[in-house]
Amino acid sequence: MLDIKFIRENKDLVKEGARKKHIEVDIDRLLELDNKRRELLSEVEQKRAEQNQATEKISKSQDSDEKQSMISEMQSLKEELQNKEEELKQVTIDWQNLMVLVPNVPDISVPEGEDDNGNQEVRTWGDIPKFKFEPKSHIDLMLDKDMADFERGSKVAGFRGYFLKNDAVRLTFSIWQLAYEHFFKKGNFIPMITPSVVRKEAFMGTGYLPQGEDDLYKTQDETYLTGTSEVSVMSYYMEERLERSDLPKKFFAFSPCFRREAGSYGKDTKGLMRLHEFFKFEQVVLCEASHEKSVQFHEELTANSEEIMKTLNIPHRVVVNCGGDLGLGQVKKYDIEAWVPSENTYRETHSSSYFHDFQTRRLNIKYRDENGKMRYAHSLNNTAVATPRLLISLIENNQQADGSIVVPEALRGYMGKEVIK
């Protein structure tokens, strides 16, 4: 959430940010409501002061007629105050409902564009394999090796359901172990296993509500299933105060994840690309309220994920997301996209974002700076590893003419084999 003072003083900039993100929000109406809210707040405070003065006078009066007259006047004042308080309450609700719809202002380096077609390539890594045969899809390869069962997955779990089996399970556990050890060696990440059933306040605070409710699973207890451990980790310090010496806070968090994929009807209906249930390691950082620090950590988190991809020898590229492909709170985002031979294109496997104080203002996470002033921290998050999606590119890029799959060297110690036959 943006500071209303910032919105008042930078109305045109906020409007331009919303335009660039292709998000419709009535900033003029918000400012009208804010003016009305402040006006009513002043009137309510004035009438409360008058009521307190009247109460004091009544308590000191010795004349019964005078006291009765003042009581009658105060009753009228009390009714006026109640009316103003009710009006203020409604205006405040309308103001709050608009405030949570105002998007964060994207960085000037974010390119124009309506959707992911407007994303721009930053860099590529790895050699795209040149097969002397027609490469198979991960679906065919996994079915041939009894590594997955999509038919029974749909029977048991419904649309987009799946079972991983045999070497697909071993590959998954191997990737998890590799990722954990990779970040453990860095020594400055706090490992976490986080809740997947989370209260509404956490989703509001991270910006997934109210706009993204269609993509969330909701329980009968008014809680939601998370689509990323970012929601849980960011809410860990909700309503808390930190010291500057506590920062940065770096987390390496694991959780099962759930997404309805409500806006992707007809897309990637087969295979492991777009699932309702998956598993993910997430990097989350809280740092000082500094744009330079946010940019520094954004590049660092992205590089951490690229290191995993390079270790697995998966050809990939990094793209900077255009305005229309940014979420409500994101200032800037990179996607890492892995090469998928059967589709002859890159597909997204990771995302890396920074938010400034958009999330921490909603979650009320502050720290005391070097001058003793309370500031909202800055936040960032990044996909470290998401499975089983990562299996798509790993399996397809390592397939052989005889249908076997070469195990990446970095995983052979965990797998106990060099080739899946």
Query: What's the pLDDT tens digit per position in 235-293?
Result: 999 999 999 999 999 999 999 999 998 777 778 889 999 999 999 999 999 999 999 99
pLDDT tens column, 279-327:
999 999 999 999 999 999 999 999 999 999 999 999 999 999 999 999 9
Tell me which residue of 362, 394, 283, 334 sits closest to 110, measured CA to CA. 334
Comparison of pLDDT for 9 and 68, the residue scoring more: 9
* Whether pLDDT at 346 is above 80: yes
Q: What is the mean pLDDT of residues 190-202?
A: 97
Q: Tell me the pairing of strands 223-225 and 217-218.
A: antiparallel
Q: What is the pLDDT of residue 98?
A: 95
Confidence of residue 399 (pLDDT cuts 50, 70, 90): very high
State what percent of residues in the chain have pLDDT above 90. 86
pLDDT tens column, 149-191:
999 999 999 999 999 999 999 999 999 999 999 999 998 999 9
Catalytically annotated residues: 259, 274, 348, 351, 389
Q: What is the mean pLDDT of residues 213-225?
A: 94
Q: What is the pLDDT of residue 266?
A: 74
Q: What is the pLDDT of residue 57?
A: 72
**Structural domains of the chain, with CATH:** 4-99 (1.10.287.40), 116-420 (3.30.930.10)
* Whether pLDDT at 71 is above 80: no
Residues in the chain, total = 421
Q: What is the pLDDT of residue 63?
A: 66
- What average pLDDT does the chain have? 94
* Whether pLDDT at 416 is above 80: yes
Both tokens of 163, joined, read 């079972």
pLDDT tens column, 352-382:
999 999 999 999 999 999 999 999 999 999 9
* SS3 readout for the chain: CCCHHHHHHCHHHHHHHHHHHCCCCCHHHHHHHHHHHHHHHHHHHHHHHHHHHHHHHHHHCCCHHHHHHHHHHHHHHHHHHHHHHHHHHHHHHHHHHHHCCCCCCCCCCCCCCCCHHHCEEEEEECCCCCCCCCCCCHHHHHHHCCCEEHHHHHHHHCCCCCEECHHHHHHHHHHHHHHHHHHHCCCCCEEEECCCEEEHHHHHHHCCCCCCHHHCEECCCCEEECCCCHHHHHCCCCCCEEEHHHCCEEEEEEEEEECCCCCCCCCCCCCCCCCCEEEEEEEEEEECCCHHHHHHHHHHHHHHHHHHHHHCCCCEEEEECCHHHCCCCCCEEEEEEEEEHHHCEEEEEEEEEECCCHHHHHHCCEEECCCCCEEECEEEEEEEEEECHHHHHHHHHCECCCCCEECCHHHHHHHCCCEEC
* Whether pLDDT at 58 is above 80: no
State what percent of residues in the chain have pLDDT above 70. 97
Q: What is the pLDDT of residue 94?
A: 96
233-236-240-244 Cα dihedral, nearest 10 degrees: -50
Phi-psi region of 261 (alpha: psi -120 to 50; beta: other; left: phi over 0): left
